[in-house]
Chain A
Amino acid sequence: MAEEGDMVSSLQPILDQKSLKWIFVGGKGGVGKTTTSCSLAVQMAKARKSVLLISTDPAHNLSDAFGMKFGKDARPVTGVEGLAAMEIDPNGSINDLISAGGDDAQEAMQGLGGVGSMFQDMAFSIPGVDEAMSFAEVLKQVKGMEYELIIFDTAPTGHTLRFLQFPSVLEKALEKLSALSNQFGGMINNLVAARGGLPNGQSFDDVLKKMEDLRNTIGDVNKQFKNPDLTTFIPVMIPEFLSLYETERMIQELGNYEIDTHAIVVNQLLFPKKDNPCEQCNARRKMQKKYLEQIDDLYGEDFNVVKMPLLVNEVRGVDSITKFSEMLVKPYEAPE
């Protein structure tokens, strides 16, 4: 946890918090989540041995930000030592999972008749379960890999919270499924046996066992997410009403999920020079100032509020990001 009382306006405390294993970066669309998470990843890579940056935003921006192609597997970022990145699709539905078993599995499902489609119906009817499944896949992958720190660049707000809810959702769903199988397991087994068994010689019990394993993994991860020493969430916002509103809501919800958050990045601040003739810039600066005061008032005591300037050029490419990332650690000095 960050030091009490003295909240510095940089992400240095997060860098110093060596116990951290998961960092989530989230906020409304277009506030600079990806830039922030990339910058944080770059800074973290300097402080830790190995860092993995995962984008769960369906609109994958990591590739754009770093100017190189990432995919479903972790790939090292050239130019940044100890940093790897990957992009996953949280919308990868359970259909993928089913079709991953090939046509065999599909046919088997149909072969099962009522029971098979019942499973499919169930899988679709539990909200978030398909996303949870793909999340679980990622977690399994990530668990196998030895990274000191994993940074999630999450999708815009609503999505983020659902994503964080997944462990609980999946746990509930699997609980139901186990209860069901305890009741009807024998019957289902008989049905499966009558149809000649599941593909690849699996038995129904094996499938259930796999699900049980999955549930345990997820329960474990859930516990980790709720531990403030291991996990933190960094909201990114811009000093505008809607962004502020969403952020406040998000912080409250994170509190309900018992997920720690103690740093906020306020992005895209304008610092026009005193004698600037640009009317729009000055008006906008005035508006931003108003919200900045509110932010300081509301979060200043409990959060590291990091203020990032709006640059004149796009933050793209490793060099640009590295330069930008320094401002996360050393507060930006506005020119007079």
Chain B
Amino acid sequence: MISILLLVFLLQVAIHLLNTFGAQTVNELLWTLYTKLPTPQSKDAAQSSKLRADVVRLNRDMRAVSAQDDFAKWARLRREHDKAKEKYDKQSADLQSFRTNFDRIVGFLRWGGTQGLQFVCNFWFSGHAMFWLPQGWVPYPAEWVLSFPRAPLGSISINVWTMACASVIALVSEATRATWALREGKVVEGPNKGEKIRMEGMSGGAGGGGNEKKEL
């Protein structure tokens, strides 16, 4: 049995990662994996993307032919295009409805595996001590808070441990990102992505960055 301390920490890591990358990205990733596996939907998805390619190709062909000068050819292409488009629309609608179900199930499992599990743990282990503080380290009010809500006095409760894990993970993550940004010398995420970081004393680099920006 995995230690409850470690479990809570890992759960918090998972929640943090999910929040950072976004649930949509995770769904997207899982969907890609799912359609790569030999499932009935993987065939549909492959067919759907093939049909889409067909529609795009036919559309391009149709544009290449002048309707005025070569109506017969154009009309035939158009018939083919309309047929392919109809087929594609139907197929993609089918796939889309499955995808909605898939997303819902994945979302449910994701929630159950992270937040839900966290809730259950918090409830289940609320009366347990995560670990004990040496006696007399902190005054009584602090001890009371640290054991909130139901852990024995003088111990750390699971809720407090959860919060501590979350804070540390957030700090570490922030630090990692900041370090990365500093190493790259430019903003690595958000709306200003790619912009150079300008700092005092970086006269050469900052000047270069300024010029580049003007060129853009």
Contacts and interface: CB of A to CB of B under 8 A. Distances in A.
Interface stretch (B53-61, B75-83, B89-97): B75-83
A157 to B, nearest CB: 16
A291 B79 CA distance: 18
Interface residues of A, number: 12
B71 A241 contact: yes
Interface residues of B, number: 11
B178 interface: no
Contact of A252 (B67, B68, B79): B79
A17 to B, nearest CB: 26
Contacts of B71: 241, 244-245, 248, 291, 294-295, 298
A294 B70 contact: yes
Interface in A259-298: 290-291, 293-295, 297-298
B72 interface: yes
A290 B69 CA distance: 8
B42 to A, nearest CB: 32
Nearest to A244: B71
- Interface majority SS (helix, strand, loop, mixed), chain A: helix
B76 A241 contact: no
Interface string A108-122: 000000000000000
B68 A241 contact: yes
A263 to B, nearest CB: 18
Interface in B32-85: 67-72, 75-76, 78-79, 82
A244 B72 CA distance: 10
Interface string A224-251: 0000000000000000010011001000
A243 to B, nearest CB: 11
Contact of B67 (A241, A293, A297): A241
A294 B76 CA distance: 11
Interface of A: 241, 244-245, 248, 252, 290-291, 293-295, 297-298
